[in-house]
Amino acid sequence: MAPTRTSLVTASLCVSQFVVTYANSCITAALPTIAVELNISDANIQWPIIAFSIAYGGFLVLFGRIADQFGKKRMQLVGLAWSLIWALVAVFSRNEIMLDIAMAMQGLGAAIGIPAALGIMSVIHTTEQSRNAAISFFGAMNPLGAVSGIILGAVFTQTVGWRYMFFVPLALEALALVVGALSIPASVDHHLQNPVKSEESSLEGTSQEQDVDNGGSQTKGRVNGLGAVLITAGFTLLTFALAGGPVAPDSYKTSYIIAAFLLAALSLIAYVLLEFKFAKNPLVPRTFWKIPGMPLLMAMALVVQMSFFSLATYCTFFFQRVYLETPLTAALHFVPIAIMGFIVATLSGYIFTHVRNLFALIVFGSCLLAAACAIFGTAGVDTSYWVHPFPGLILSVTGFELIFNSLSIKIITAVPPSDRAIAGAMFNTCVQLGQALTLSIAVAVVSTATDGYADPTSPQALAAGYGRVLLMDCGFAVAAGLLACFEWVRSARTGAAGPTSARKDEDVVLGESNDEGVVEGK
C-alpha cells in the first residue's frame, strides 16, 4: 500500500480514538453548567458520563468479534457514522434523558468502531517499526483527546455555550468517515473472502480440528449468539454497577446496584461455562487465553488504567476544589500531558523496535507512574504547581504511554489478523472496567479520609482525601510493575518473551490490494 494512503488510513483511525476520549472528557468540564440549564439534580449529574461508559464497555467484545467476522472496515465506518449522528443529537438535547441517550449512543458507536480500528491499524503497517509507531500514535490519542476535551469543554462552556463542544467530534468523525471510506483497503478483511489455511488461521498454530475443539478463530459469519448476549449483559451490568454505585441514593447498598452486581456475576459465570465447555463457536477464541502471558497482560491493562485514570480525574478535582481555580485554568494545567504524550508517541516507533523486551519498558513505565502518583499525592493547599503537580503530570503520562503502548503491541501482534479486533476489544474492555472500578474505590477512599474534618468539603480536607487516592494509585502502578516482573521472569525461564507475533498470518494479508480487494503478494 502506498505510503500516502497508509498515512491517510492511520490518521482516520487515530481520529476515531481521539474522539472517544474527547467526548468523554469534554462533558466533564461542562457538567455543572449543563446541570443548571437542563435542570439535572446533583444525584443524576454524572449520568451522561456513566451512560457513555456503560454502552462503550458493555458492547466492546460483541462488536470486536463482529468486526473480525463481518469486516473491520465496515464496522469502523458504521461506528463513525453512528457516533456522528448522536453527536448531532447531543447538540440539540433539551432535557436530561435526551442527553443521556445521546451520550450512551456515542459510547455504542465507539464500541462498534474502536476494536475494528485497532485491528486495521495492526494490519496495514507492514514493518515492525511502522506498526509500533502507528499503535503508539493510536494510544497517544487517549491523553491528547482527554486534555483537548477538558480544555475545549471549558472554553466553549465559558464562551459560546456547551452545545458547541459537540461540533468538534461531529466534524472530525465526518472527516474520518470520508477519508476512511476512500482509503482503507478491502485487503484488511481478506481472510473473509479467502480464509487462511488451517495451519495459519488459528492462534499459536493449532490445526483446524483443534480449532473447532479448542475455540480458535471462527468460521466467517458465525457468532455465538447466546455467548454474545451473556457477555454483553454481564459487562454492561458490571459497568453500570461500578459507575452508578457512587451516585446511587444509598451508594453500593442501593437495591438496584446490588441486583446489577448479582446479575452481572451470573451472566459472566454463565458465559464462561458456555464458552469454555459447550460452544463450538466461542465469542472469544479459547486459544486466545492459552497464549503464554495473555491473562497477565490483561490484568496489567486493568491496574494501569486504574492508576492513571484515577490520577487524571482527581488531579482535575484537585485544581478546581483545592486550588480553587476556574475550569479553564485547571484545564490548562494538563497541556504538558498532551505535549509529553505526543513526544513519547513520536519516539515510540524507535524505542519499541530497539528495545526487544517490552516487559522492561512496562516495568520502567510503572516506576515512573508510581513516582508521579507519590509526588502529586503529597501536594497540599499551598503547594506550588511547579513543585508537585507539574513533575507528577509529566512522569505520569510518560510512564503510562510506555506501558499502554507496550501492552497494545504485545496483545495485538500476538494474534493473527483474523482475531485482532476481538483482541483489541478485550484490551479496551479491561481498560473500561479499570476506569469504573478505580472511581468506585476512590469515592470510598475520599469519604473515609475527610470524615475527621469539621468541614469535609474544605480545601484542606479534600487535599487529604485526594492525596490518599493518589497514593492508592501509586499502589496500582506498583502492582502493574510486579505483574510485568513476574511475566518477565516467566518468559525468561521458558525462553519466550511473552506473547509473540502471529507472523504467518500477517504475510497472507499484508500485500498490496487491487481495486477488487484481492491481495497480491509483494
pLDDT of amino acid 521: 37
Beta-bridge partners for 520: 512
Query: Amino acid identity of 129?
Result: Q
pLDDT of amino acid 412: 85
CA distance 260 to 236: 9
Task: State whether the Cα torsion 392-447-256-102 is positive or negative.
Answer: negative
Q: What is the greatest pairwise CA distance in the chain?
A: 73
pLDDT of 519 higher than 70: no
CA 276 to chain centroid? 26
What residues contact residue 85 under an 8 Å CB cut-off, 6+ apart? 105
The answer to whether 372 touches 393, Cβ cutoff 8 Å, is: yes
pLDDT of amino acid 103: 93
Among 13, 313, 275, 322, residue whose Cα is nearest residue 140: 13
Residue listed under C-alpha cell 468517515: 177
C-alpha cell at 397: 503520562
- Residue with the larger pLDDT of the pair 219 and 302: 302
User: Which of 95-99, 251-255, 345-349 has the highest mean predicted lDDT (pLDDT)?
Assistant: 95-99
Mean pLDDT of 265-282: 84
Mean pLDDT of 56-64: 87
Predicted confidence (pLDDT) per residue in 141-181, tens digit: 888 888 888 889 888 988 899 999 999 999 999 999 999 99
In 3-state terms, what secondary structure has residue 363?
helix
Question: What is 3-184+215-223+281-520's CATH topology?
Answer: Growth Hormone; Chain: A; (1.20.1250)
What per-residue string of b and e applies to 313-336 under the rule 16 or more CB within 10 Å gives b? bbbbbbbbbbbebebbebbbbbeb
Instruction: Transcribe 100-123 into DSSP letters.
Output: HHHHHHHHHHHHHHHHHHHHHHHH
CA distance 377 to 194: 55
73 burial (CB, 10 Å; 0-12 / 13-18 / 19+) is buried
Provide the pLDDT confidence category of residue 511 given band limits of 50, 70 and 90: very low
- Residue with the larger pLDDT of the pair 414 and 259: 259
pTM of the predicted structure, to 2 decimals: 0.81
Predicted confidence (pLDDT) per residue in 329-358, tens digit: 888 888 888 888 888 877 877 788 788 788
Instruction: Say which range, 12-16, 75-79, 197-201, 383-387, has the weakest mean pLDDT.
Output: 197-201
Provide the pLDDT confidence category of residue 62 given band limits of 50, 70 and 90: confident
pLDDT of amino acid 392: 92
What's the mean per-residue pLDDT of the chain?
Answer: 82
pLDDT of 214 higher than 60: no
pLDDT of amino acid 45: 76
What residues contact residue 427 under an 8 Å CB cut-off, 6+ apart? 118, 298, 301, 407, 408, 411, 412
